[in-house]
Amino acid sequence: MKPLRFVLTALIAALIFGVGALPVFGQSDEALLRFVHVVPGASSIDVYVNGQLAIRELRYGSASGYIGVSAGDNTIAATQTGVTTPLWQQTVGSAPGTATTLIASSTQTLRFTAYNDDLNPLPFGKTRLTAIHAVEGAGAVDVVLGDGRVVIPSLGYNQPFGTFDIEANTYSFGVVPAGGTLDNPIIPATTFALNTNTSYIIVVYGTANQPSFLTLSAPTRAEVAGGFVRIGHGIPEAPAVDVFVNDTLVAPALAFGQITDYLAIPIGTYSVAIRLPGADSDLLSGTLGVTRDSYTSAFALTTGDTPTLDVFPDPTANISATVSALTLINRLTSGTASVSVDDVVLISSVPSGGIGTASLQSGVAALTIAADTGTTTAETTLDLPGGIYGGVHYTVLVAGDAPQIVAFAPASIAQTVASAPGSGAAPTIVSVPTDAPAVAVMPTQAEGMQVIIVTATPTPDSGAQPQVIVVTATPTPPVIVAPTLAPTPGIVARVVLNPGANLQLRQYPSSQALSLGLAPSN
């Protein structure tokens, strides 16, 4: 038998973080927070919430999943990984039922800037998009389409913008200096595959000389009772595919190793079809049943040499703040697959075509995947920054003739402050030596509503014609308290909300209306 040591490549959507993160509010007084570390030149950080370790080893250029916290004021402290003296500390306020993204990007004033996330329901087949400029010292930028048309104009550093609700599809976006063109881009035109019922944020970060970007994703909330479904591509060497549910495009250009978020889908039975981008004929098809509060996965896989569409329930029943679930899918042409944690076998010898599941306790531990085809063995240790979190569903695929090991993006289902590896033994945060600034509250852009024509980008050589969509940019409310703005012409109104109440603004009167934003309490 010939042993081989494989280095795992994270086969997930390029630079997409938070994939699979499902915001779940167990109590009416909970809120969601996620953290993004893009401070140039800084090493990884640990994040503490009210003195308890919540995020461990958050690396530069990456984001955490959402964690559930108590609504109201929470004290957030950031330290270098493994150090208890804070780099900074601040108070962040969150209203019940809200989701907030906290981004650290400044080397001059260390702090998180808070952005309110719009996770309100979307009509099936729609997706939501916005962008954040997190390059300190750089001037305003425009987010443009691949043909140069401006989608988000004059976006300033740490300044929130509105959201666009558009058809799920592939789009080409680039970033240029305000008023500039793609001939001299900050970020060249890049294709983004935007899934249905998902909210995306393109974060431009780095330095003026070395800009980069990452894409955050999160599923939007359910509007009616239903379950949660995610769709993955697990056929090695197969091209990217479009996935349709009841003939609605839900996952465009899904590539091998990619997986959608857990999408909220109403109770019912649905047809699922997988096609080449732009094609009308089905490569694979099947049915999908959704029951109340169920978690289900649908994967394009192979059984032997035959492509199949496999639908199976996910082992989420035992997931808690400190316990996660692991699913191992074996689609080797022949052979077995196993999983061990710190050299202790957790799932043993799953045969080809089988699925193994197990529960994982949160902790600083190594997760190792092994495959044995009878003639070749492959083994890899997954790169899990910080260790194993509680409240998460981890999924690994072993496939092909020569074993390929794929770690799909983990799905955060019940992650809280108590879920971090080693959080039970968290040290007490010492006092900050100097006063750290409170979270910045940025005013929304003083922009009127804009109507923009966005063209979905067809896959090359697909023969499909570009799809023209009209979308509306809407101002995003500030996270905590809106500052006093100078009077502007037109109709102005002030709405006073009860403590803890949020006001959802939508078009009227259609049930398919677009979201115009969320006005938080206070």
| Per-position pLDDT tens, the chain of length 522 | 444 333 343 333 333 455 444 445 445 689 999 999 999 999 999 999 999 999 999 999 999 999 999 999 999 999 999 998 999 999 999 999 999 999 999 999 999 999 999 999 999 999 999 999 999 999 999 999 999 999 999 999 999 998 999 999 999 999 999 999 999 999 999 999 999 999 999 999 999 999 999 999 999 999 899 999 999 999 999 999 999 999 999 999 999 999 999 999 999 999 999 999 989 999 999 999 999 999 999 999 998 889 999 999 999 999 999 999 999 999 999 999 999 998 899 999 999 999 999 999 999 988 999 999 989 888 999 989 999 999 999 999 999 988 999 999 999 999 999 999 987 544 444 433 333 333 333 333 333 333 333 444 444 444 443 333 333 333 443 333 333 334 434 444 556 665 555 666 666 444 455 656 666 654
* Cα 68 to Cα 441: distance, rounded to the nearest angstrom: 21
* Cα 320 to Cα 418: distance, rounded to the nearest angstrom: 10
CATH pick for 24-119+410-440 out of 1.20.120, 3.20.14, 3.40.50, 2.60.40: 2.60.40
- CA neighbor of 518 nearest in space, from 284, 199, 213, 212: 199
Backbone angles phi, psi at 280, to 5 degrees: -100, -25
Torsion, Cα 234 235 241 247, to 10 degrees, reads -70
* CA distances in angstroms from 522 to 8, 97, 148, listed in the order given: 47, 14, 39
Both structure tokens of 6: 């494989």
How many helices (H) and strands (E) the chain has is answered by: 0, 40
Beta bridge partner(s), residue 150: 144
Both structure tokens of 274: 């997988």
- Residue entry with tokens 């009308």: 280
Rg (CA), the chain: 23
- CA neighbor of 106 nearest in space, from 207, 187, 15: 207
Both structure tokens of 406: 């794929």
- CA neighbor of 472 nearest in space, from 454, 489, 490: 454
- List every span in the chain annotated with CATH 2.60.40: 24-119+410-440
Helix (H) or strand (E) holding 289: strand 284-290
**The model's pTM:** 0.80
Is residue 439 within 8 A of residue 112, CB to CB? The reply is: yes
Helix (H) or strand (E) holding 93: strand 88-94
* Cα 337 to Cα 330: distance, rounded to the nearest angstrom: 6
C-alpha triplet 114, 111, 20: angle, nearest 5°: 50
- CB-based burial label for 27 (10 Å; 0-12, 13-18, 19+): exposed
Per DSSP, the three-state class of 425 is: helix
Both structure tokens of 517: 């934003």
Backbone angles phi, psi at 254, to 5 degrees: -75, 120
Quote the longest CA-to-CA distance of the chain.
78
